[in-house]
Amino acid sequence: MGSALRHATLKVTGESDRDVRETFFGRRGVVRLTTWQLPVTLPDMALPTRRVADAVLVAPRLTFNAVVYGVLPTPASAALILLREGPSALQWKALGDALVRFAQHSGPLITKLGQVLATRSDIVPEAVCTRLEALYTRQPPMTTPRLDAALRSAFPQGLPFSKFDRRPIAVGSIAQVHRAELVNGERVIVKLVRPGLQREIDRDLNAAELLVDLLLKIPGYARKRTRVAVSHALRDLGAALRNEVDLRREAKSLEEFGRRLRANPRVRVPAVYREWCSGRALVMEELIGEPISAYRARAKTDPHGARRVADLAFKEIIKQVFEGGRFHADPHAGNLIILPDGRLGLIDLGLTGESGKRDRKRIARAVRAFVSGDPDALCRALLDFGILPPDFHYEDFKADVEATVRKKGSHVVAQMTGGNGDGAGSPNRLETFVSDLFRVAYRHGLYVPPSATLLIKAIVTIEGVARSLNPNLNVVATAVPIVLSSLRPQWLRWRFWRDWSFMEA
């Protein structure tokens, strides 16, 4: 077998030997450590065998990167951190920074997992979450050869640009973004998928599925509720990654949003140049405007402008959730700009969500129960979002939810109704509170599907953006008319209105 491995030829979607070695050992130039090749085409193997083969490829690479980037520190590096920054830094700060370096050089699956964990303080410590947020903005750009390969793959007939800026304006684990100019002089944005990513994702997912299957079968290793949650989470993560690799989905989302917003005088999305788009490239109009963060910076000198932008951004995203049915699922400040004519510009629609009538009712019930101080109704609303494990205990879950509400509920309600006067820069208590509720759900094995997570994330994110511009914004009173208008039939709207009427006082 060893001889066969040394002398056989590897044929995996036409990738060169050098690329295989680089993928295997990471991207720090240690490519001469192996010259062996597999005698099979991995996609043609049976699934269990392919998972084992992929694990053989992936495990040494991740182990090597873990040592190189400090996730598995050597005694010397651990001692240095301990002496320089103390025990608490060694435990969390150093771990978070090491995880960022490890993820950046270990492929899209590990990076995406790190990004997910950055939003899940219910699973990992808050200090680690803060460090992992760097994975959203600090990604290594493609090397010149890889960028050339990405351009050749995306535009096999030749580049349609008179100018192409090779310096990326944004870099992610899946793709990076460049400015360009068409032959007719129009300025465009070009998004390019990293070459060879689809196969790398498939290989990493196969290895991860094998590892999870093995771990969950160990007697006593995990409770039944944990097995269900982990299996669902891995499946959802794989689906999300595969969707992101195909830029045709984002092009379709942009076109759909464009049609929906055509009659809306307050919002705009970039136009898509469909003739130049493919699964590997997205060419769209460059929207010129001022980032929302600029209004936040001058909120003291131009409070009226900041309040206007906060109201515009919050209302339009909430309308997408409750009226449009399809919404921008990542409306952070970097993805929102104000155009010269005052309209809200939405960019980077790579992550979108859908909300049906049932989703809207769920959100309305949950917020109503929370604001009105009804923990039992809040528990029922939360359970309606997720999938229960076989050994779920409602009374224990309810007790934990009530404890969370008692601890932080009044402060969150005060902030949401604009009556706390904390000022700009104060912590987002709603975001922290929602994280605490997710922690409770995770502890009790309640699986919340991605569709619900995206919906909640979008609302929490835009609430934080709006409140950073106008700390006194009453987001509940602002959202209630939009929520009520989305409820049908009329009697249902009236029932909700009775419960919300106290907000008018």
- The per-residue pLDDT for range 358-412, each reduced to its tens digit, is 888 888 888 888 888 888 888 998 898 888 887 889 999 999 999 998 887 777 8
pLDDT band at 113 (very low <50, low <70, confident <90, very high): confident
User: Does the residue 476 lie in any domain?
Assistant: yes
Q: Given 109, 136, 163, which residue is the final one in a domain?
A: 136
User: Does the residue 298 lie in any domain?
Assistant: no
More confident residue, 117 or 250: 250
Asked if 420 and 456 count as a contact pair (C-beta separation under 8 A), the reply is no
pLDDT exceeds 60 at position 98: yes
Residue 98: partners with Cβ closer than 8 Å, 6 or more residues away: 69, 70, 71, 73
| Of 121, 118, 148, 330, nearest in space to 244 by CA | 330
H helix runs in 124-265, sequence order: 126-132, 144-154, 197-216, 224-245, 247-260
| Span of 88-92, 95-99, 280-284, 500-504 with lowest mean pLDDT | 500-504
User: Does the residue 178 lie in any domain?
Assistant: no
Helix or strand holding residue 370 (H, E)? helix 357-371
pLDDT band at 218 (very low <50, low <70, confident <90, very high): low
User: Does the residue 257 lie in any domain?
Assistant: no
pLDDT exceeds 90 at position 315: yes
User: In the numeric block, which tokens belong to residue 272?
Assistant: 């898509």
H helix runs in 278-324, sequence order: 292-297, 303-319
Q: What is the mean pLDDT of the chain?
A: 75
Asked if 452 and 232 count as a contact pair (C-beta separation under 8 A), the reply is no
Residue 56: partners with Cβ closer than 8 Å, 6 or more residues away: none
Asked if 192 and 350 count as a contact pair (C-beta separation under 8 A), the reply is no
Asked if 18 and 37 count as a contact pair (C-beta separation under 8 A), the reply is no
Strand pairing class (187-193; 267-268): unpaired
Using alpha carbons only, give the angle 407, 410, 412 rounded to the nearest 5 degrees: 95
User: Does the residue 462 lie in any domain?
Assistant: yes
Q: What is the mean pLDDT of residues 83-111?
A: 67
Percent of the chain with pLDDT over 70: 70
Asked if 298 and 306 count as a contact pair (C-beta separation under 8 A), the reply is yes
Q: Quote the pTM value.
A: 0.71
The backbone torsions φ and ψ at residue 344, rounded to the nearest 5 degrees and listed phi first, read -90, 125
More confident residue, 241 or 397: 397
What total number of domains does the chain contain?
Answer: 2
User: Does the residue 438 lie in any domain?
Assistant: yes
Asked if 331 and 347 count as a contact pair (C-beta separation under 8 A), the reply is no
More confident residue, 82 or 171: 171
| Span of 119-123, 133-137, 240-244 with lowest mean pLDDT | 119-123
pLDDT of residue 407: 85
Residue 257: partners with Cβ closer than 8 Å, 6 or more residues away: 269, 326, 328, 346, 349, 352
C-alpha distances out from residue 121 to 125, 127, 355, 433, Å:
6, 9, 25, 11
Q: How far apart are CA 45 and CA 47, in angstroms?
A: 6
pLDDT of residue 143: 93
pLDDT of residue 68: 44
The amino acid at 13: T
pLDDT of residue 448: 83
Can you give the residue range of the structural domain that contains 371? Answer: 352-504
Q: Given 136, 151, 170, which residue is the final one in a domain?
A: 136
pLDDT exceeds 90 at position 102: no
More confident residue, 190 or 35: 190
**DSSP per residue, 103-132:** HHTS-HHHHHHHHHHHT-TTTS-HHHHHHH
pLDDT exceeds 50 at position 27: no
pLDDT band at 242 (very low <50, low <70, confident <90, very high): confident
The amino acid at 106: S
pLDDT band at 281 (very low <50, low <70, confident <90, very high): very high
Q: How far apart are CA 379 and CA 373, in angstroms?
A: 11
Q: Given 81, 111, 136, which residue is the final one in a domain?
A: 136
User: Does the residue 427 lie in any domain?
Assistant: yes
Asked if 131 and 96 count as a contact pair (C-beta separation under 8 A), the reply is yes
User: Does the residue 255 lie in any domain?
Assistant: no
CB atoms inside a 10 Å sphere around CB 394 = 12
